[in-house]
A = this chain, B = another copy of it.
Amino acid sequence: MQIGDLSRNAGVNVETIRYYERAGVLPVPARQGNGRRIYGEADVRRLGFIRHARDLGFDLQSIRTLLALQEQPEASCTDASRIAQAQLDEVERRLSKLQSLRAELSRMVDECQKGVVAECRVIEALNTSPF
């Protein structure tokens, strides 16, 4: 599989794939005789994982940590547990923040839909919010 196939299969820009290689979240691939990168199914899955994790707001450093965790299933349980727990704490933190944001945005949209134009408080909602 060449980079263009990987791009289509994973739904990730070719330039982004090469960037991920430089950033160290995708392994340096083997090359064909002509110098072109060769990929396999594992790379499609790995790329899918990276994209989802990025969508969730994880930065590339966190993603490197998550990938390292999954690549060393024989690593000591305490180490793996510590890394996983740290990621879990981060996920919980993001979850509670997002839940607050959801409440705030819902309130904004609700009030806007209920009100007439003159009573729209979308902008005021941001200034008088409990955050």
Contact = CB atoms under 8 A, between A and B. Distances in A.
Interface of A: 45-46, 48-49, 52-53, 55-57, 66-67, 69-70, 73-74, 76-78, 80-81, 84-85, 87-88, 91-95, 97-99, 101-102, 104-106, 108-109, 112-113, 115, 117-123, 126-127, 129, 131
Contact of A127 (B49, B76, B101, B113): B49
Contact of A131 (B52, B76, B81, B115): B52
Identical copies in the complex: 2
Contacts of A123: 45-46, 48-49, 66-67, 69-70, 80
Contacts of A52: 97, 126-127, 129, 131
